[in-house]
């Protein structure tokens, strides 16, 4: 995974890491939005950015690439 010089873990923002943890639990966007007190559209943006950073094609691939690495 890529790292940034901004202090974020493995190139992910703290909010993206929160979304990732929900993805690891198999939660849908609506459940993630409710849990993290954000709009579902914001969750979608975070998921899309996570996928871009990982060059992942889907959520399952995101989980596979990150579950034991963060």
Q: Which domains does the chain have, with CATH numbers?
A: 9-66 (1.10.10.10)
Written as six digits, the tokens of 68 are: 């034991």
**Per-residue pLDDT at 62 exceeds 70:** yes
pLDDT for 2-58, tens place per residue? Answer: 433 343 557 999 999 999 999 999 999 999 999 999 999 999 999 999 999 999 999
Question: If we measure between CA atoms, which residue out of 38, 36, 70, 41 comes closest to residue 54?
Answer: 70
Alpha-carbon span 12 to 17, nearest angstrom: 6
Assessment of whether the complete model's pTM goes beyond 0.85: no
pLDDT computed for residue 64 by the predictor = 95
- How many other β-carbons are positioned within 10 Å of the β-carbon of residue 32? 23
pLDDT computed for residue 67 by the predictor = 86
pLDDT computed for residue 21 by the predictor = 96
């Amino acid at each position: 995974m890529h790292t940034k010089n901004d202090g974020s873990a493995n190139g992910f923002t703290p909010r993206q890491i929160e979304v990732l943890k929900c993805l690891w639990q198999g939660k849908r966007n609506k459940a993630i939005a409710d849990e993290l007190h954000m709009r579902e559209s914001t969750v979608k943006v975070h998921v899309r950015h996570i996928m871009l950073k990982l060059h992942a094609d889907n959520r399952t691939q995101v989980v596979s690439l990150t579950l034991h690495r963060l």
